Chains A and B, each alone.
Chain A
């Protein structure tokens, strides 16, 4: 195979990216009537490729996890038992999906999700509030004057938005909190989002041309 210099490879990637970007922008810009004629089939194909690529990425990810943890077990790395447990569970869940004729709709997989994965995830995120409070207390107390105000503000918003608060607090206060969230907070959020997405586009181009 003929060797190509890296800059040429980068230029080809950049060209492909620019072409795809232009196609997607045109698809978003034109009206529905124009879109259905010639651009839409092309963009649908591109989106399908993205989904396929992501599916391939997930499949590859599963394989990568298996290989990395097999190596850890082989090398007797620290806490290799955890890797062994991970591999056993991975194999069991995979087998449950593959051996059942219903595939991903298999009742056994459904049970694993409902009774194992969701409760574990909920538990993890439920204790996050305590971790956040403890970490904020330990860190902000030491080094950041005024950090407590931020914490109090965050907790106030948390309190106002709780279901029980809606019945206890006055309707006016509730409406004020909704107004805060829907106007100033949303406006700031969208501004930041737009700015960051534009900067990320620049970063992406820099990635392809490999410049700092």
Chain B
């Protein structure tokens, strides 16, 4: 379910990841996800193909992963071999089912995982192998389930709102007029949502308890 992403966005994220990995001395992981249908993996494959003209990019050793019951990984392997020297890229199959895919990703990255290229991703505290399943936009080309769509929209929206958020709507207030007394504190998103998220977490716990009891 990375269908909402354009090839340019995936490519740009990959470039960012590659740059970061080179600085951190890591092996970047280009994960195409798992797919039982070759059609779902097409965006990732096309993004991979378009990454090739920048093959002059000073790539560190890359790991390309793909899985699922379709032949997507073979396709990715063939493309990767056309594009990169063998010593620069390892293509690997990650298994047919999601659990095996996650286990394979963890094996390749080690329990500590690679250094985090995405600052947003670090906030979630999620293991890297789980991100494609919960916060898909943090793994550029992984195919995620439909259930992750609300989380994707929820997180993408602040980014889409950025131009409005930083739009200057009035003249700046002179510093001399500001004082601690006349600046009213605005409730932050943290405060306004805290009670709601807290109650949601309690509800989640109750659901689990009820499930165990029932």
**Which residues of A are at the interface with B, using a C-beta cutoff of 8 A?**
53-54, 56-58, 60-62, 64-65, 68-69, 71, 78-79, 82-83, 86, 120-121, 124-125, 128-129, 131-152, 154-155, 158-159, 162-164, 189, 196-197, 199-201, 203-204, 206-207, 210, 212
Identify which of residues 3-25 in chain B touch chain A, using a CB-to-CB cut-off of 8 Å.
Answer: 3, 7-8
**B43 and A86 contacting across the interface, CB-CB below 8 Å:** no
Alpha-carbon separation in the docked complex, A162 to B49 (Å): 44
Knowing A53-B71, A135-B124, A164-B214, say if A140 contacts B93 (CB, 8 Å).
no
Give how many A-B residue pairs fall within 8 Å (CB-CB).
Answer: 163
The segment from B166-174, B175-183, B188-196 found at the interface with A is B188-196
**B203 and A155 contacting across the interface, CB-CB below 8 Å:** yes
Alpha-carbon separation in the docked complex, A199 to B3 (Å): 8
Contact with A along B105-147 (1 / 0, CB 8 A): 0010011000000001001111100100111000000000010
**A139 and B96 contacting across the interface, CB-CB below 8 Å:** no
Alpha-carbon separation in the docked complex, A138 to B151 (Å): 13
- B150 contact from A64, A154, A189, A196, Cβ within 8 A: A154
Residue in chain A with minimal CB distance to B121? A139
Query: How far in angstroms is the closest Cβ of chain B from A27?
Result: 18
- Between A and B, 12 residue pairs with Cβ closer than 8 Å are A61-B93, A65-B93, A65-B104, A86-B107, A128-B134, A135-B135, A146-B189, A148-B197, A189-B146, A200-B3, A203-B43, A212-B50
Residue in chain B with minimal CB distance to A82? B107
Q: Could you tell me the dominant secondary structure of chain B's interface residues?
A: helix
Knowing A64-B92, A131-B130, A138-B123, say if A155 contacts B204 (CB, 8 Å).
yes
**Which residues of B are at the interface with A, using a C-beta cutoff of 8 A?**
3, 7-8, 39-40, 42-43, 45-46, 49-50, 67, 69-71, 73-74, 77, 90-93, 95-97, 99, 102, 104, 107, 110-111, 120, 123-127, 130, 133-135, 146, 150-151, 154-155, 157-158, 189-190, 192-194, 196-197, 199-201, 203-204, 207-208, 210-211, 214
Contacts of B125 in A (CB 8 A): 134-135, 138
Contacts of A151 in B (CB 8 A): 196-197, 200
Contacts of A203 in B (CB 8 A): 7, 42-43, 46
Alpha-carbon separation in the docked complex, A71 to B70 (Å): 25
- B133 contact from A65, A69, A128, A207, Cβ within 8 A: A128
Contacts of B92 in A (CB 8 A): 64-65, 68
